[in-house]
Every structure is written in structure tokens, then in C-alpha cells.
Copies of this chain bind each other. A is one copy, B any other.
Amino acid sequence: MKRTAKREFKYEAIYKAALKVFAEYGFKKATIEDIAAELDTAKSSLYFYVKDKRELYDKAVAYGLRLWQNKVRDAVAAETDVVEQFIIMAHKAYEYLAEDRHLQRILMRDPALFPLFSSQDPYSDINRDSIAMLKSILQRGIDAGRFRPIDIDGVAQLLFAFYVMLIQKTYMFPEGALSRIMFKDGVDLILGGLIAETARKKGRLPTKPKPATD
């Protein structure tokens, strides 16, 4: 194995350990020693890989967010129909945090990591990519005559904001089953607003996959 690849794995191991400890104790209470213990190493060793505690936190969270994004991207790539892609994207992105409890806990403790306001988004580069994915689907949907011609930029921002809000409602400030109903109704309403007249005549709205039962 190449040296650089080996280092990549080391970084992944460090980020995973950090995510686990930060999820359990939060940034403030988690100590470098806790994370070092999780990795069976001396705390000073961590400083070979990261500058300080804050950078370890930031990098670990970025790693976690990229895993999420990649999972959605892969699921979208496995579909061919653009409307199905839209639906899959929405469902995979929405359901992901149910599987990644560490990331969920970290976001719960620290909602500023996934904020509604892009100006205060510490990971705007990552989320820009997500919005680009969304725009690409909208663009291809319009080109194929499946979606009505809409303001792609504005609608993409809007849908992303709506999505962030639902993630917050569901995973970061959960208050019951209402947010899942809102997700369902929201996808329906938005698809209803997006689908072109001509496509509408061909048949019912496309079927949605069953949400994962966990």
C-alpha cells in the first residue's frame, strides 16, 4: 500500500474516533485525551496530524458531511429517469441521518454546523456542491420537458433551505412525527409545482419509494 493511502486511512480513523467522542461529550467537554484513548495512542501524537482541537473538530465534521453527500450522489447516479433522481435524492438525503447517529448527535449538540443561513455556514463549500447537484437535476428535468421552466437558481436555493429546515426539525430539534408528515406533504406539493403539464397528462405523479423502516 502506498504511503499516502496509508495516511488517508489514518486520517479516517482519527476522524471517526473524533466524531464518536465529540458526539458523546460535545466539543467543550470532549478532551484530546478522550480521543487519543479511543485510538490507543498518546494525545500528543494527534498533533502530528492536526493543528489543534478546533481543527480536529472541523475536519472530522467535514469528513462526516462528505460521507453523507457521497451517499446521496451515488444513489442518484444509480437512477436514470430524472424525476426518479429527484425523488431519490430527496429521500436519501432526508433519511441519511437516521443511520449516522454520531453525526446526528453532533449536529444536535451544535446546530450552527448545518444552519439555515448560508452566510454563517462553516461548510458552505460542501453545501454549494449539494446545491449544484440539485440544480443539475432541475436543469435536466427542464431540458427533458419533465419539469416546468422555473428559476433554477432561486428554486434550488429555496429547496435546499426547505431541506435544511426539515433536517433540523427531524434530527436536530425533534418534536414528534410532524416533521416526517411535512416531508411527505412537501415532496408532494413541490413535485406538483415542478412537474410540467404535458408530463402530468401521461399519468399520475411518479410513485415514491417507501421510506426506510428502522
Chain A residues at the B interface, C-beta cutoff of 8 Å: 116-120, 148, 150-151, 153-155, 157-158, 161-162, 165, 168-169, 173, 175, 178, 181-182, 184-186, 188-194, 197, 200
Which residues of the partner chain B approach A188 to less than 8 Å between Cβ atoms? 150, 193
Residue of B119, B150, B192, B197 touching A185 (CB-CB under 8 A) = B150
Question: Which chain B residues lie closer than 8 Å to A173 at the CB level?
Answer: 116-117, 119-120
Q: How many copies does the complex hold?
A: 2
The docked-state distance in angstroms from the alpha carbon of A194 to that of B116 is 25
Complex Cα–Cα for A140 and B118 (A): 37
Tell me whether B175 and A158 are in contact (CB under 8 A).
no
Which residues of the partner chain B approach A169 to less than 8 Å between Cβ atoms?
116-117, 161
Q: Which residues of B contact A118 (CB under 8 A)?
A: 175
Whole-angstrom distance between the alpha carbons of A191 and B192 in the complex?
A: 9
For A173, give the chain B residue with the smallest CB separation.
B117
Q: Is the CB of B161 within 8 A of A192?
A: no
A157 contacts B175, C-beta separation under 8 Å:
no
* 15 A-B residue pairings within 8 Å (CB atoms): A116-B116, A116-B165, A117-B169, A148-B192, A150-B188, A153-B181, A154-B181, A154-B182, A154-B184, A155-B189, A157-B181, A158-B186, A161-B165, A189-B194, A193-B193
Least Cβ distance of A187 to chain B in Å? 10
Q: Which residues of B contact A154 (CB under 8 A)?
A: 178, 181-182, 184-185
> Closest 3 A-B residue pairs measured CB to CB?
A193-B193, A192-B193, A154-B185
Measured CA separation A199–B185 after assembly (Å): 21
A153 to chain B, nearest CB (A): 8
Distance (Å) between the CB of A128 and the closest chain B CB? 14
Q: Could you tell me if B119 and A150 are in contact, using CB atoms closer than 8 angstroms?
A: no
Question: B residues within 8 A CB of A185?
Answer: 150-151, 154-155, 158
Query: Which B residues are in CB contact (< 8 Å) with A119?
Result: 173, 175
Q: How far is the CB of A38 from chain B (nearest CB, A)?
A: 33
